[in-house]
Structure 1
Amino acid sequence: MADSNQDYDSYEQYIYNRDVYDQIKRYIGDEYYSFPDTILGGETENREFITLDCLRLSKYLNNFYSKGNCKKQNCCQYINYILNQTVRRDYDSKKDIFDIYNDYMNHENNSMIKNLCLTEINYMNQEKYNKIHELYNEYNNCKYYISIKDNIRSCNPVESCANAYNRIMTKYTKPNDTKSCKNLKDLKDYLERNEPTSTGDCKWKFSDLLSYPSECNELLQKPEKPDVSMVQTNGRLVVQREVKGATPQEQREGTPGVGVPGVGVPGYGTGVEGSSTLKDTQSYAEDINSKTPNDNTTIPVGTITYTSLGLVLPLVTLYKVKKIYLKSFTFL
């Protein structure tokens, strides 16, 4: 699928989220009477049903307690799919009904669910909805197999799930998309961990039936590219990083005090003596600046490198520099 990496659930996320929603959707209780009627505005025809939709939305999201738990299961995208499905099935695809769901989440009493998911609850275009809906139908084929795998009487459920897997592989998996490749690999591994119990009626095995694209395999095996390159020169580690706005000569030599250790510092040695964290280096710098230097003071020179996103990489190398008083640190 060409959508955002978070637009749809993996198989196991889908099964988890579906089970949670199925458990809570029938039990609203007294919450119905506390629903803020102002949310419904001028809607009169479907007030009761829309109220129930909103309360299920709230109860489902509150089940996750924290943003971390919700993100782990991709819970926002599942409920977004459910709301889009509900509007299409029950309200003739009326977007103004979907807007009521957003208004409810944005209500002052719903800060928890607002912070969890409000920005991810959106009315889908029909093409996007159809893709996700069809993908989840394929998941359901395998869910049915899992529910009866220990008591199957024929190969039909196994075949149905294997065919669903193959359709997911050919229709929804993109060889240059890490998320879809990983989802397919996870589904394959999951099914192979849940092989059918061998009987006289069916001896098929997923390990024999399921294939996996070589392009995806190569993509998942590629290591992530580091933000900086490390080059060992004359026994010391040098961090190479492009400095924007620098001349070619500056790029080769580095900016004094930044990027390349020791550049512009007289008496700089070649041995790497130790390392520390950025926090320790800063604290040490404040401490030594408050003292009078002497000829035997050992001063650490911190090397601080920024990524292209403006984040400080914790790459700080300490070097011994004898008889040098560090007057200032330069941070880029």
Structure 2
Amino acid sequence: MGEPPLTVAAVARRLGIAPATLRTWDRRYGVGPTGHTTGRHRRYAPADVHRLELMQRALLKGASPAEAAGYALRAAAESTRSTRSTRTPARGGDGARLVMPGAARPARGLGRAAMAMDEVSVQRMLAEAIDADGVPAVWDDVIRPVLAAIGGRALYAGDCVEVEHLVTECAMAAMVRATPLVTTPRNPRPVLLGCTPEETHSLPLYVLRAALARRGLGTRMLGCAIPLPALVAAVRRTAPAAVALYAHLPAHADPGALVHLPRTRQRVHLFACGPGWHDVDLPARVEYLDDLTCAVARIESFIT
């Protein structure tokens, strides 16, 4: 017999998100219970929970909620058609593939190199793509689809964690290399970049820093899981023009981290970045940024 269906509250606890977020995902993106319901209480079958886990995995890799939902629905359908192949663990370059419906050719090439654990090729492809298309395009069209696909395969087959780590480290290195040293920034006061106190995933921040630096904008990088007292101290020490605080999941998106930032003599623009803030009620003076290109443009418009 299969697993029993779960209530909204049980699924929310399992995923570590609020029940209201589950209902929003169902209403907006169609990632909800699909089977028979009893009375007014909808219940999630194992396949429904699996799609939500895929969506959450994609969110962790930087996808927007709409992108993550679309990926989860497509990947789940693809996996149903090819269950045998996706359940066979990959070993190096044995022909195992990633499920990336609609991905561009550079993403598919990067995926093949990643599955072969070919670090040299992964690094070369990323460097060439950034030189050709720029940081935002490579992040949105190449890196994120590959990381989301690896995450989906890990959920189905229980493998590829090593591939995920390889790609993440290579992407981090590529973004550091793509970040020029801005000795004479266009903005007199820097942009402070950091993750919320519980957030450990900082790759998207390095992508944002690279994109800003390539436009001649100065930043200060605080990285992942910055404690609130340290964030407050950094604001006081640097008097930034803007603070961009990143969170992947709602559980890590604490508005208090923004509320408690000190006010300086000159106005500090506050930005909540990342999908974790999507359904969070933000303070009036905080702007939500859910897209890299939008984030670069908005931050630039405020500080120059």
What is the TM-score when the length of structure 2 is the normalising length? Answer: 0.27
Q: Which is higher, the Rg of structure 1 or of structure 2?
A: 1
Higher RCO (CA < 8 A, seq sep 6+): 2
What is the TM-score when the length of structure 1 is the normalising length? Answer: 0.25
